[in-house]
Amino acid sequence: LFAGPCDFIFASVKASDLPPLGPPEIAFAGRSNVGKSSLLNALTNRKTLARVSHTPGRTQQLNFFALGGQPGAERLRLVDMPGYGYAAVGKEKVASWGVLMRDFLRGRASLARVFVLVDGRRGVKPVDEEMFDLLDQSAMSYQVILTKHDELKVSERAEVLGATTQALSKRPAAFPEIIFTSSHTGEGIPELRGAVSKLLHE
Ligand code: GDP
């Protein structure tokens, strides 16, 4: 699934303009600078996959990629969601972001799970809670990925993992295992790939 190419398929700026339904989709969300581009590149063995979505605040779009086969014959689609919580983004853009996210999360039958990235150095912040709110309201399955494992001491890792577990415990739905990752050391990448592969077989 992760060995082959991962070609760009489609960019959506509004929920009425999504690619036709196809194979299962997994989406990746997180605040700007959380390490989403780096993680997507590590996950797919690519150096430039996420570049297309990168400039914070500019690309308010959903970017679809094909995994496990050429576009049209892919086994899975990866959806890069626009980063949130970027201070320089105006109110209007935040509102249009919210509409796009909500419409996509509520209406996308093929969306199997959203992976929500949380910065391991910061832990769960109000913007992350807002994303969890949106996912809970949409009854969408989600799994939290902590990033930047390499930047933390052993004690700090335990602390942020505990606090994140506690934040998720307050949520209505049972939550899957929290995966702690580093795009620099590769920590957690096999676990993340395992979680993705498992979704395909459910
Ligand atoms: P995005 O805005 O969420 O796409 O984040 P990027 O992937 O561009 O990363 C934001 C910053 O965090 C960059 O300076 C990266 O080098 C850094 N970063 C990303 N992942 C890691 C990681 O696993 N460990 C460390 N130490 N830094 C990371």
Q: Buried (b) or exposed (e) across 52-75, using 16+ Cβ within 10 A?
A: ebeebbebbbbbbbbbbeebeebe
Are 44 and 4 a contacting pair, CB within 8 Å?
Answer: no
pLDDT of residue 55: 57
Q: Is the pLDDT of residue 194 over 70?
A: yes
Number of C-beta neighbours around residue 16 at 10 A? 8
Non-local CB neighbours of 168 within 8 Å, separated by 6+ positions: 132, 144, 175, 178
Residue among 36, 38, 63 to mutate when testing ligand 1 (max atoms within 8 A of CB): 38
Helix H or strand E encompassing 166: helix 154-169
CATH topology of domain 6-200: Rossmann fold (3.40.50)
Helix H or strand E encompassing 142: strand 142-147
pLDDT of residue 54: 57
What are the structural domain ranges in the chain? Answer: 6-200
Q: How far is the CA of 34 from the centre of ligand 1 (A)?
A: 6
Mean pLDDT confidence for 19-43: 95
111-119 and 6-12 strand pairing = unpaired
Mean pLDDT computed over every residue of the chain:
91
In DSSP terms, 144 is beta-bridged to 116
> What atom of ligand 1 comes closest to residue 183's alpha carbon?
23
Placement of tokens 């957690």 in the chain = 188
> What atom of ligand 1 comes closest to residue 30's alpha carbon?
3
d(CA 116, CA 131) in angstroms, rounded, equals: 8
Are 97 and 32 a contacting pair, CB within 8 Å?
Answer: no
pLDDT digits over 129-160, tens only? Answer: 999 999 999 999 999 999 999 999 999 999 99
Q: Tell the residue nearest (CA) to atom 10 of ligand 1.
A: 33
d(CA 157, CA 151) in angstroms, rounded, equals: 9
Q: How far is the CA of 188 from the centre of ligand 1 (A)?
A: 15
Whether the complex's predicted ipTM surpasses the cut of 0.95: yes
Q: Could you tell me if the CB of 33 is within 6 A of ligand 1?
A: yes
Mean pLDDT confidence for 113-129: 97
